[in-house]
Amino acid sequence: MNDTAKSLKENLLSSFDDIQAEITDEQRLTILCKDDSVIPVLNFLNSSGYDHLALISCVDWIKDNELEVVYILNAYTEDREKGKMNILVKTKIAREKPELQTVTNIFENAEPYERELHELFGIHFKGHPGLTPLFLEREYEIPPFRKDFDTRKYVQEVFNGIPFVEDKKGKNERT
């Protein structure tokens, strides 16, 4: 456990009162916060040197009926201890009509990540410049990365429902 993580944790806990911060591993600081305090926390981390958003990820906790969005931050710095740090900012939102404020005005590279989460988990990011599909070609009733999306049933219905051309031709000739 290093001093950088400790001092950052104390700084965070003293400036925000509704968050939990914990050093979960060597060089890893996990911050749990509510969905409306994500922007201030990220702003604080950005101004204290952690200015690289590495990834926005999401976990579907289907039993708790919650989606957990994880922002992973790094720092570009010459300070080796600080450069090794991974900051995880976690927030939980409801699974029905999940909404979050966009962070594109703090980290510009969040734009494709938010589009990805929008199409794979169905999270709506308020204030995002263009929430258009990123990877997927088809429309899905349930976003495909949610736990209640049944991939096998979907494959049975869509891909296996398409006949082979030889079968089709044979059927048409018979009738």
Partner 1 sequence: MDRNKIGKWLRSPGKMGQKYSLHALYFCTGCGIIEIPPTITARWDAERFGVIPVATPRQANLFLVTGYVSLKTLRPIIRSYEQMPEPKYMVGFGSCPINGGMYWDSYNTIKHLDKYIAVDGWIAGCMPRPEAVFVAVTHLWTLIDKGMADGYKRYRENYRYYRENQEKILGKLEWPPLFSNV
DSSP label at residue 109 = T
Q: Cβ of 59: how many Cβ atoms within 10 Å?
A: 14
- Kindly state the smallest distance separating residue 115's Cβ from partner 1, in Å: 15
Beta carbons of 42 and 103 less than 8 angstroms apart: yes
What residue has token string 């590279």?
109
Strands (E), 18-117: 20-25, 28-33, 52-61, 66-74, 86-94, 99-101
User: What is the signed CA dihedral for 109, 111, 114, 115, rounded to 10 degrees?
Assistant: -140
- Kindly state the smallest distance separating residue 165's Cβ from partner 1, in Å: 5
- Kindly state the smallest distance separating residue 8's Cβ from partner 1, in Å: 40
Q: Is the Cβ of residue 36 or residue 150 nearer to partner 1 in the bound state?
A: 150
Q: Is the Cβ of residue 126 or residue 153 nearer to partner 1 in the bound state?
A: 153
- Kindly state the smallest distance separating residue 118's Cβ from partner 1, in Å: 16
Site map 107..136 versus partner 1, x via CB under 8 A? ----------------------------xx
- Chain residues binding partner 1 by CB under 8 A are 135-138, 140, 144, 149, 151-152, 154-155, 158-160, 162-165, 168-169
